[in-house]
Structure 1
Amino acid sequence: MTYTGDERGGAGRDGPWWWERRRGAVLDVGLGGVSAVECAVEGVGFAHEASVPVAVGVLFGVVVGAVLVLRRRWPIAVVLVGIAVSPAAMGFLLGVVGLYTLAACEVPRRITATLTAMSLAATFVVMYVRTIGDEGVTRTVVIWLSVFVAVALTVPPVLLGLYIGARRRLMESLQERAVSLERELSLLADRAEERAEWARTEERTRIAREMHDVVAHRVSLMVVHAAALQAVALKDPEKAVRNAALVGDMGRQALTELREMLGVLRAVESPKSVAAVAAVAPVAAPAAAAFDEGPGPSLAELEALVEQSRAAGMVVELEVRGSGASYAAEVEQTAYRVVQEALTNCHKHAPGARVAVRLAHREGEVAMQVENGPCDGQAVVPALPSGGNGLVGMRERVLKLGGVFVSGPTDAGGFRVSAVLPV
C-alpha cells in the first residue's frame, strides 16, 4: 500500500519512484541510514547471543535497518519487520517510525489496531524476558517496567501518527472544499454576468418598444396631416389652418410623452439602478414598474385615440361591448397600445381603407380587435417608414400578460389584429 506521508506538500510531483516530493525521499533515505547504523551496532550483541559471526550480525542489522526506507511504500511490512526483530533487541528507530507511519497513512484502522497490539505485546514479552532474571528485581517490578516500556515505545508514535493523519486529511478536505467553492463562485459569477446581460438586453428591448409606441403613432398622424395640409393649403385655407392646428397639437402631445419617457429613463439609469444591475438583481423589474405604474394611457382614452385617426381623414368605427371596468394599469396600457399600433399600421399600409375598432369587456378578460378593409388605391399618402417591429412588439406585450394575440390578412383583402388579455 502506497503512503504519501505527512511530509507531502505543494502541487506537482518531483520525487523519484513512490515519493511525491524529493525532500521526502531524502528524509526516508536518511532515516533508513540512521536505522541501519543503529541495527548494525545492535547486531554485534545479537551475533554474540546467537553464536554467529559478528559480520553476519552486522550485515543482518544493516539489512533490517535499511527496511525503514520503504515506510511510505509498504508501512505494514516495515512494522512487521520491526516486530519480528524485537526479540533480537534491535530496531528501536525502525519500530517507532514504522508505527507512526502506519497510523498516519490510509491503512484501515483495524489493521493499525492489530499491528499496534502485536507490537505492544512483543515489546512487553521481550522486556519481561530480558529483565526477569536480574538479581534484586521482583516480578512485580519487572511486570510494571515491561508495561511502561511497551507503552512508551508503542502508544506515543501511534497517537502522533493518528493526529498527523487526521490533520492531513482535514487539510486536504478543506483544500478540496476551497477549490470546489472557488469553482462554484466562478460559475455563479458567469451566471450573474449572463443574467445581467440578459436584463440589459430586455431593458433595451422594452425601452425601444415604449419609444416606438409613443412616437410612431403621433408622428405618423403628423405626416398624414402635413400631407393633407400641403394638398389644401391653396384651395381651402380654413381647412389648412385646422390641419396645421392638429399637427401642432399632435406634436405637443408627442413632446409631452417623450419628456415623460425620458424622465423614466433617467430614473432607471440612476446609480442605484446600475448598482442593482451589478448585483444581479432582476434589473428589468424596476424599469418595468416605472413604465407600467407611471402615468400612461388607458382604455378611457380610446375614444380620443380614434378621433385623432378620424381627424386625419381615416374612416374609423368604434364598437364597445359590455360594461367598462377598471383594470390593472398594465392591462389598460397594453390594450391601448395594441389599438394604437394597429391604427398606426392602418395609416401606413392601408390609406383610405375603412377601419373597425372593437372592444369587448368580458368576464375575466378584455378583448380588442382592429380590422381594416382593402386599401383605397386612390388615396394618396406619403410613404411612411416602417421598422417591421410593430406586430412583434404587440405580440410580446400581450404574451407577457398571459394573453392571446392573432394577426393576419382577411378574406376581403384587409388585415385584422386581435388580442385577448386576462384581467
Structure 2
Amino acid sequence: MRAVADDAFASGGGLINGHHPTWLNRVMRSSPRNSAVIGALWSATPSLLVLAGAVGFLAIGTWDRALFASVPGTGSPLLLAGLIAVQGLLLWPRRLRPLPVFGAVVGIDLAILGTTAGELGIGALAVGIASYRVVRHLPRRSALIALVVGAAATTTVGGVAMLLGSREAPLVLTATLLLRILLLYVLPAGIADYVLGRERLTDALREQARMAEQRQVERARGELRAERTALARELHDIAGHHLSGIIVSAQAATTLTRSDPERARAMMQGIQDDARTTLVDLRRTVGLLRSDDDDSNSRPDRPSPTPDLAGIETLVDAARERGQVVGFRVIGAPRSLGPLTEAAAYRMVQESLANAARHARGARSDVSVRFDEGEVAIVVVNAPTGPAPDAVAPRAPAQPGYGLSGMAERAELVGATLKTGRTSDGGWRNELTIGGAVRGVDRDGEAS
C-alpha cells in the first residue's frame, strides 16, 4: 500500500488518497550516500572538536590579551592555536596509524606545556582522544607501553616546566600532575577498555545466537531426514508387501485363465482386495503428513490395524491366499512386547514374505515366533528356489536392498538384533531377536 501511495504521489499531482502529503505521511528514505556522509561526520567529530577548541582559544587570546598575558612564558595565541589545529588534523580519521598519531599529539602537548610553564592544558583533549584510539586499535601490551611512556613524558615535562616557571606549592603541583595523568591517559584508557569489553560481549552473544540457530537448523534437518526415512520405510513395507502379492497373484491368474477359469476369477478378486487394501494403507500413511486435512470424507473407510505380533498370522494367511506355501507356528506363551517392538517384528515378517514371493516363487517359507524366558525370536526361513508349476517367476527388482535396510533400521530403533543371510542349502533366513522382552518395555522407555 505504501508503494502504491508513493507512485500515486509521484505521478498524480502530489496527492495520496486524495489528500496533500504532510511531513507526517511522507516516506523517509535514507540512501547509502547519506549513510556514508553521516558515518564520516561521526568519525570526524573528535577532530572537529579539537579544531573548534583551537578557534575558540584563538578568539579568547585575541579578545582578552591581558588574561592571556598573565600566563608565564606564553607564546603568541596564533602559534598555540596552530599547534592545537595540527593536533586536530592528525586526529582526522584514516590519516595515520594510532601509534604515530599518539606520539605526535603527545609531543605537541609537551611543547605547549613547555612554553606555558605547564599551566595551559589546551592540548589535553587531543591527547585523551589519541589515548582512547591507542587502546581501541592496538594490542594490549603495545597500548600499555605507549600510555606509560606518554604519561611519564607528560609528568616529566609538565613537572619541570611548573617548577621552573611558577612557584606553586608542592601539594598543588603533585595534585595537578596526577589529575593531568588521570584525565589524559587513565580515563580514556578505561573508557576504551569498557567499550572493547562491550563489543566482545556483543560479538560473543551474536556468535552464540548464530551457533544456536545453526544447531537448531541442523536438528531440524536431522528430524526431517529421520521423518523421511521413516516414511520411506513405511511406504516400502506397505507397498512392497501388497504389490508383491498382487504381482504373484496376477501371474498365477494369467496362467490359470485357460486351465482353471474359476480359480483365476477368484484370484483376480483377491487381487482387487489387495489393491484396495494397499490404497487404504497408503492413504493412511500419507494422511499422517496432512495435519490440516480434517475432511472426514477423505479418510479411509477401512483403516489398517496397528502392526503387532497377533497380526503375523494374518500376514501368513494372506500369503497363503496368494499361492505361497507358508508354515506358521508359535512356541511358548505369547506376551506383549510394546507397540514399537511388535511393529518392528510385524514389518520384518511382512518384508520377508514379500521378498520370498518376489525372489523365491514356489519355495516354501516357514514363520516361527518363539517366546523364551529372556527374549523373543521371530524367524522367517524360505527353502531354496524351486520351479513354479503354475506361474512364471518374477524378475528380481532393479534396486534391491531397501527392505533389508528398513528391517535393520527398525531393529536398531527398538534395540533388537537382526541376522539375515543365506542358509547352508541355498535358501534364505531372517531372524529378529528381541532381548529384555520379559520386562515388556520398548527401548524408548514406553511400557507395554
Q: Is residue 2:437 matched to residue 1:410?
A: no
Higher gyration radius (CA): 1
1:397 aligned residue (410, 423, 429): 410
Q: Is residue 2:419 matched to residue 1:381?
A: no
Q: Is residue 2:251 matched to residue 1:251?
A: no
User: What RMSD over aligned residues (CA atoms) do the two structures have, in Å?
Assistant: 4.9
Q: Is the 8 A contact 1:64 1:91 kept in 2?
A: no
In structure 1, C-alpha distance between the alignment counterparts of 2:151 and 2:121, rounded to whole Å:
20
Q: Is residue 2:234 matched to residue 1:205?
A: no
Unpaired stretches in structure 2, ≥5 consecutive residues: 1-35, 92-100, 136-142, 295-303, 438-448
Displacement of 1:296 in angstroms is 1.4
In structure 1, C-alpha distance between the alignment counterparts of 2:278 and 2:69, rounded to whole Å:
112
Per the alignment, do residues 220 and 76 of structure 1 end up closer, same or farther by CA in structure 2, a change over 3 Å counting?
same
1:129 aligned residue (164, 167, 170): 167
Displacement of 1:375 in angstroms is 1.0
Q: Structure 2 counterpart of 1:222, which letter?
A: I
Displacement of 1:229 in angstroms is 3.0
SS at structure 2 position matched to 1:419? strand
Structure 2 equivalent of residue 316 of structure 1: 326
Per the alignment, do residues 375 and 104 of structure 1 end up closer, same or farther by CA in structure 2, a change over 3 Å counting?
closer
Q: Is the 8 A contact 2:102 2:131 kept in 1?
A: no
1:303 aligned residue (313, 319, 326): 313
Structure 1 equivalent of residue 138 of structure 2: none
Displacement of 1:254 in angstroms is 2.7
Q: Structure 2 counterpart of 1:93, which letter?
A: I
Kindly report which structure 2 residues correspond to 1:132-211, keeping only aligned pairs within 5 A, or say none.
Answer: 147=172, 155=179, 158-159=182-183, 165-211=189-235
In structure 2, C-alpha distance between the alignment counterparts of 1:160 and 1:295, rounded to whole Å:
83
Kindly report which structure 2 residues correspond to 1:3-402, keeping only aligned pairs within 5 A, or say none.
Answer: 58=75, 62=79, 66=83, 69=87, 72-74=101-103, 87=117, 91-94=120-123, 96-97=124-125, 100=128, 104=132, 106=135, 108=144, 129=167, 147=172, 155=179, 158-159=182-183, 165-267=189-291, 295-379=305-389, 380-381=391-392, 383=394, 386=397, 387-388=399-400, 389-402=402-415
Residues 201-231 of structure 1 deviation map (CA, whole Å, 9 limit, x = unaligned): 3322221221121122123223323333333
In structure 2, C-alpha distance between the alignment counterparts of 1:100 and 1:73, rounded to whole Å:
9
Q: Is the 8 A contact 2:75 2:115 kept in 1?
A: no
In structure 2, C-alpha distance between the alignment counterparts of 1:90 and 1:257, rounded to whole Å:
95
In structure 2, C-alpha distance between the alignment counterparts of 1:377 and 1:236, rounded to whole Å:
20
In structure 2, C-alpha distance between the alignment counterparts of 1:351 and 1:103, rounded to whole Å:
89
Per the alignment, do residues 384 and 298 of structure 1 end up closer, same or farther by CA in structure 2, a change over 3 Å counting?
farther
SS at structure 2 position matched to 1:205? helix
TM-score normalised by the chain length of structure 1: 0.66
Residues 369-421 of structure 1 deviation map (CA, whole Å, 9 limit, x = unaligned): 22211111244235367342111211221122222222222221212222223
Q: Structure 2 counterpart of 1:298, which letter?
A: D
